[in-house]
Chain A
């Protein structure tokens, strides 16, 4: 169990500000391999920014991010290199609120694009891997369709397959179900639960309190760019120590 002790994500004192607004005010966090961590909090608390900073879609102002041994520090020491960032990103898969599929490519094309263009894999091999992951999200029968023909839930599942195909160590979900109708939310959450059961390390920014409570090992409540509450779902939902967290949860559940 030595591996378990070695965290797969280690974030130290992460800050992000836009001009003079501080969005993240020093976030430190370690996540063990295989853990499913839900990040909850009000709009504007910095949840999405935090997730986007992890793979440098937003550049953090300062702090250290280490994913699976690949570490980047900002603000002190040598400047982060494009190569370092690329290596970091290769360990992270990201799923967006708006799916962000490429509309001019088929479902399979979306899933294999990264394999052929970034990993330089042959088309045949890439298609095989792509089909494997489309099977995982139960969409193999849609491989030749274009995204516009799919429902929101199906599109999001394709987006998950696209991220998985790159075989990341950690999956980041940025409000993956927030733009879906309730009945479509279920199918996406099912895929996410299955992924969690497979042992994937997941960081899930979500408004789905049900998922946070039932499917995650740990829940983090962000407020004003700081971690205000951090613990098991039972602790955070049933006995939060911070008043704000208490308020947020009671209003989210009502």
Chain B
């Protein structure tokens, strides 16, 4: 037992198999990089789809993320490597095989795209509406859909403007910290507002008011002031 352990930790063994081990490392890293790229692309598309207007597309996107997040990676890999080729073979009527490397990239890429999509979605959602409006007002097109009720806003994709990850990373962290923390801390809000945010009844009232506003029936004397306050509470 002890000798087996000693043999296992024998550095000369590593040296002896250095070429194979290095090849493994390179393989590992290349799968990591390729699947990360795939995951990022898929996650961006799915996250945007989840935030879009079409209900059907939203459902499909949500189903995709749930499936990816709740299926163990190993099961996904088995499906991609063994089951997917079977289905494709049936469909095209001839034998089809997937290269193991490609299968690994697809399997892991799909698995992680679910997690990443959810992170991106949460990050975009956690951007304060006022900050999105400020971005819209200076001409940024990425966040304007979040800020306006204008249908043309969604029709202006600008791939060159996808610098959001930098902003998101912070927003996501912020979101997480906010989730873990007791109150709904938003930097820049003063103590009073933070205390307000910790008051569940006020929070509910504010939420209800904003909901009414979105439905379009929050108009009464002083509505814009009340709404502004409600927006501060529900952040």
- Chain A interfacial positions (CB closer than 8 Å to B): 18-19, 21, 23, 42-44, 48-49, 55-59, 79-83, 85-86, 89-90, 92-94, 96-104, 113-114, 117-118, 146-148, 155, 159, 162-163, 166
Q: How many residues of B contact A (CB 8 A)?
A: 43
Total residue contacts A-B, CB cutoff 8 A: 118
Are B136 and A57 touching (Cβ within 8 A)?
yes
Are A100 and B138 touching (Cβ within 8 A)?
no
A44 to B163, CA, bound (A): 38
Are A94 and B137 touching (Cβ within 8 A)?
yes
Q: Of the candidates A48, A85, A92, which one forms a contact with B152 in the assembled complex, judged by CB atoms under 8 Å apart?
A: A85
Q: Which residues of A contact B147 (CB under 8 A)?
A: 57
A93 to B152, CA, bound (A): 21
Are B128 and A100 touching (Cβ within 8 A)?
yes
Q: List 18 A-B contacts (CB under 8 A).
A: A18-B216, A43-B222, A44-B221, A55-B137, A56-B150, A59-B149, A79-B152, A86-B141, A89-B137, A90-B139, A94-B134, A101-B134, A102-B131, A104-B174, A114-B139, A114-B140, A118-B138, A163-B138
Are B152 and A82 touching (Cβ within 8 A)?
yes
The answer to the question of B215 belonging to the interface, with a C-beta cut-off of 8 Å to chain A, is: yes
Are B152 and A80 touching (Cβ within 8 A)?
yes
Which residues of chain B in 124-152 are interfacial with respect to chain A, using CB atoms and an 8 Å cutoff? 128, 130-131, 133-141, 147-150, 152
Q: Which residues of A contact B224 (CB under 8 A)?
A: 43-44, 48-49
Knowing A44-B219, A58-B149, A148-B187, the reply to whether A117 touches B140 (Cβ < 8 A) is yes
- Chain B interfacial positions (CB closer than 8 Å to A): 128, 130-131, 133-141, 147-150, 152-153, 155-156, 161, 163, 167, 170-171, 174, 186-188, 213, 215-225, 228, 232
- A164 CB to closest chain B CB (Å) equals 11
A111 to B161, CA, bound (A): 17
Q: Which residues of B contact A94 (CB under 8 A)?
A: 134, 137
Q: Of the candidates B171, B186, B188, B217, which one forms a contact with A99 in the assembled complex, judged by CB atoms under 8 Å apart?
A: B188
A44 to B225, CA, bound (A): 8
Knowing A59-B148, A86-B156, A148-B187, the reply to whether A100 touches B221 (Cβ < 8 A) is no
